[in-house]
Amino acid sequence: MARRREHSREALTELALCAAERLLDEQGIAVLSTRRIAAEIGYSAATLYSVFSSLDDLCWQLNARTLKQLLDELDALGELAPREALKAYALCYVAFAARWPERWSLLFEHRTPETLQVPAWLNESIGRLFSQLELCLGELAPEVSAEELALTARTLWSGVHGVAVLQLRDKLFLPPQGKQEQMLVTLVDYHLDGWRLNRESRT
Amino acid sequence: MARRREHSREALTELALCAAERLLDEQGIAVLSTRRIAAEIGYSAATLYSVFSSLDDLCWQLNARTLKQLLDELDALGELAPREALKAYALCYVAFAARWPERWSLLFEHRTPETLQVPAWLNESIGRLFSQLELCLGELAPEVSAEELALTARTLWSGVHGVAVLQLRDKLFLPPQGKQEQMLVTLVDYHLDGWRLNRESRT
Q: Is the pLDDT of residue B67 over 70?
A: yes
**Axis crossing angle, helix B146-168 with helix B101-109, rounded to the nearest 10:** 130
What does R_g of chain A's alpha carbons equal in angstroms? 20
Spatial separation of the C-alpha atoms in residues A66 and A110, rounded to whole Å? 13
pLDDT tens readout for residues B117-176: 888 888 888 889 999 999 999 999 999 999 999 999 999 999 999 999 998 887 776 655
pLDDT attached to residue B175: 59
Region of poorest pLDDT, from A17-26, A38-47, A107-116, B62-71: A107-116
pLDDT attached to residue B151: 93
Spatial separation of the C-alpha atoms in residues A34 and A47, rounded to whole Å? 10
pLDDT band at B177 (very low <50, low <70, confident <90, very high): low
- What dotted CATH number matches A1-52? 1.10.10
Q: Is the pLDDT of residue A1 over 50?
A: no
Where in chain B do CATH 1.10.10 domains reside? 1-52
Please report the residues numbered 119 through 148 in chain A whose beta carbons come closer than 8 angstroms to any beta carbon of chain B. Answer: 126-127, 130
Task: Express as a percent the part of chain A with pLDDT over 70.
Answer: 95
Q: What ipTM does this complex have? A: 0.89
Nearest-neighbour CA in chain A from B117: distance (Å): 14
pLDDT band at A198 (very low <50, low <70, confident <90, very high): very high
Region of poorest pLDDT, from A153-162, B94-103, B115-124, B178-187: B115-124
pLDDT band at A6 (very low <50, low <70, confident <90, very high): confident
B179 touching A, CB under 8 A?
yes
B172 touching A, CB under 8 A?
yes
pLDDT attached to residue A168: 87
DSSP helix/strand/coil, B48:
helix
Q: What's the CATH architecture for A66-202? A: Orthogonal Bundle (1.10)
pLDDT attached to residue A7: 84
Furthest C-alpha separation in chain A: 72
Please report the residues numbered 45 through 84 in chain A whose beta carbons come closer than 8 angstroms to any beta carbon of chain B. Answer: none
Where in chain B do CATH 1.10.357.10 domains reside? 55-202
A111 touching B, CB under 8 A?
yes
Nearest to A172 by CA among B126, B92, B125: B126
In sequence order, the 6+-apart residues with CB closer than 8 A to the CB of A69 are: A96, A100, A103
Spatial separation of the C-alpha atoms in residues A91 and A167, rounded to whole Å? 12
Q: Is the pLDDT of residue A112 over 50?
A: yes
Region of poorest pLDDT, from A75-89, A108-122, A154-168, B72-86: A108-122
Chain A nearest-CA residue for B180: A155
**What element of type H or E holds B155?**
helix B146-168
Q: Is the pLDDT of residue B201 over 70?
A: yes
pLDDT tens readout for residues B70-121: 999 999 999 999 999 999 999 999 999 999 999 999 998 887 788 888 888 8
Q: Are B188 and B140 a contacting pair, CB within 8 Å?
A: no
| Chain mean pLDDT for chain A | 91
Q: Which fold has domain B55-202?
A: Tetracycline Repressor; domain 2 (1.10.357)
Would you put residue A132 in left (φ > 0), alpha (ψ -120 to 50) or beta?
alpha
